[in-house]
Copies of this chain bind each other. A is one copy, B any other.
Amino acid sequence: MRFTSEQRLDDGVLEREFTLGEIPGILWTPGSASAPAPLILVGHPGGLRKMYPRLVARARHSVVEGFAAATIELPGSGDRPRSAAAEEARADLRRALAAGEPVDDEIVDRLVLPLVEKAVPEWRAALDALLSLPEIGGPVGYAGGVIAIGIRLAVVEPRISAALLFAGSFVPRTLFEEARQVTIPLQVLLQWDDEGNDRQLALDLFDAFGSREKTLHANMGGHTGVPRFEGDDGNRFFARHLK
């Protein structure tokens, strides 16, 4: 892990870009940390540069409450090399959506499963590197999409103690089986009117999770319309489980 740039944001939050091998990432830490901070992994659908305004807003909102926050680029997104198979699956998905056709499970599997297979070990490697920093103390939470990545991480990575998942569609059927194996506390955000989202699938997935403590927060509005107060609720969820 190599830091490549560093800046202080105006609320004192320290933002550092890094690379982990070929993978770019960003780490945000509190302006003045007295003790090692619990870490929130900031999940997203890929494309750090495009997503930056939303990612930095989410990260700062948590970091001013005493968390550290970090994210990495997903495989095949941003400046990272594309996979021909993933691009083909993405094109098939777009074609189905544009034609108003139902999206075949087979397309979802081709699109999401290889992404999960590649991204999860990268998140875990990032976790190794991040937890070796003296300013980060664990425990660790995962917050955001891709929900399939969050599910797999929650199952295979014992250092993740809680997850705040953004419900999204395009969840491979096999991930439902994994969802039953998740036992950490969950908060699941569902945008009730998300046009690109299958509400019933999200409710079925929430039902499938094996966690004894799981809470669904459904709000009005579309994909990017998550209300501001959910950021505060997310902080309190992680404060209950990480602090």
Interface size in chain A (residues, C-beta < 8 A): 20
Q: Are B218 and A192 in contact (CB under 8 A)?
A: no
Query: Interface segment, A51-59, A144-152, A227-235?
Result: A227-235
Segment at the B interface, from A2-10, A98-106, A206-214: A206-214
A50 in contact (CB, < 8 A): no
Q: Which residues of B lie under 8 Å from residue A232 when comparing CB positions?
A: 236
Checking B212, B214, B220 against A214 with a beta-carbon cut-off of 8 angstroms, the contacting residue is: B220
Minimal Cβ-Cβ distance residue in B for A206:
B218
Tell me if B213 and A227 are in contact (CB < 8 A).
yes
Residue A83, interface by CB 8 Å = no
Residues of B contacting A213 in the complex (Cβ-Cβ under 8 angstroms): 220, 227
Q: Report A161-217 residues with CB < 8 Å from chain B CB.
A: 192, 203, 206-207, 211-217
Taking a contact as CB atoms under 8 Å apart, the answer to whether A229 and B240 are in contact is yes
Within the assembled complex, what's the spacing in Å between the Cα atoms of A80 and B238?
46
Q: Is the CB of B220 within 8 A of A217?
A: no
Contact A217 B217 (CB under 8 A): yes
A219 within 8 A of B: yes
The answer to whether B240 and A236 have CB atoms under 8 Å apart is no
Q: Which 10 A-B pairs have the closest CB atoms?
A: A216-B218, A215-B219, A214-B220, A217-B217, A215-B217, A212-B220, A213-B220, A229-B240, A215-B218, A216-B216
Instruction: Provide a sorted-by-A list of 11 A–B residue pairs whose CB atoms are within 8 angstroms.
Output: A203-B203, A206-B218, A213-B220, A213-B227, A214-B220, A215-B227, A216-B216, A216-B217, A217-B217, A218-B218, A229-B236
Q: Which residues of A contact B (CB under 8 A)?
A: 192, 203, 206-207, 211-220, 227, 229, 232-233, 236, 240
